[in-house]
Amino acid sequence: MFGPIAAPVQTQRLLLEPLGAHHAEEMTQVLDDLRLHDFIGGAPLPLGELRARYQRLAAGPAPFHQEGWLNWIARRRRDAQAVGTVQATVTPGVDGLSASVAWVIGTHYQGFGFATEAAAAVTGWLRGHGVTALSASIHPANAASAAVARKLGLRPTGDLADGEIVWRDR
């Protein structure tokens, strides 16, 4: 695996757990809403496919790739309810590691600041583990995700990736 390996991270309201195949069952329910895919494409996966996907994500890319996949489940601490996921793809950067980050919060749990809280914790953790440059690719109409990125200190650049605006912290 290239770069740091995901470890548990705690915030005021959330516990971020490194994602594994065992999370698939509870996450199919959290993620079972077509609206979550308005700006990111795809569709909710049935349990078997989500479990296989989580297995692949947890295994990471083939060792010869200079790339690390870090994924966390965000769990609300007060009742252990899973609320979403945060993802970071780590690659070599100019003066350290670069990480591209993404976030999804289940529809029922949106609007409470969970994406911001989880993503801020993950980006802080990444910075403490050698990441010196952060980016996120966000659909131009995804105002909620743009608001999260802005609160993390990212700014939109003129770069586009697959029709999405690339946001960077520098």
Ligand X SMILES: CC(C)(COP(=O)(O)OP(=O)(O)OC[C@H]1O[C@@H](n2cnc3c(N)ncnc32)[C@H](O)[C@@H]1OP(=O)(O)O)[C@@H](O)C(=O)NCCC(=O)NCCS
Question: 126 and 99 in contact (C-beta within 8 Å)?
Answer: yes
Pick 44 or 93: Cβ nearer ligand X: 44
Q: Does 89 bind ligand X (CB under 6 A)?
A: no
Q: Which of 5, 34, 52, 143 binds ligand X (CB under 6 A)?
A: 143
Residue type, 125: W
Sequence-ordered alpha helix ranges (H) in 11-95: 24-30, 47-59
What letter would DSSP give residue 34? G
Residues 6+ apart with CB under 8 A from 78: 13
Does 148 bind ligand X (CB under 6 A)? Our answer is yes
Cβ closer to ligand X: 56 or 108? 108
Span interacting with ligand X, options 19-27, 32-40, 63-71, 155-163, rule CB under 6 A: 32-40
- 161 interacts with ligand X by CB under 6 A: no
142 binds ligand X (CB under 6 A): yes
In whole angstroms, how close is the CB of 143 to ligand X at the nearest point? Answer: 3
Residues in 45-84 that interact with ligand X by CB under 6 A: none
115 binds ligand X (CB under 6 A): yes
Residues lying near ligand X in the complex (CB under 6 A) are found at: 36, 39-40, 102-105, 110-116, 136, 138, 142-145, 147-148
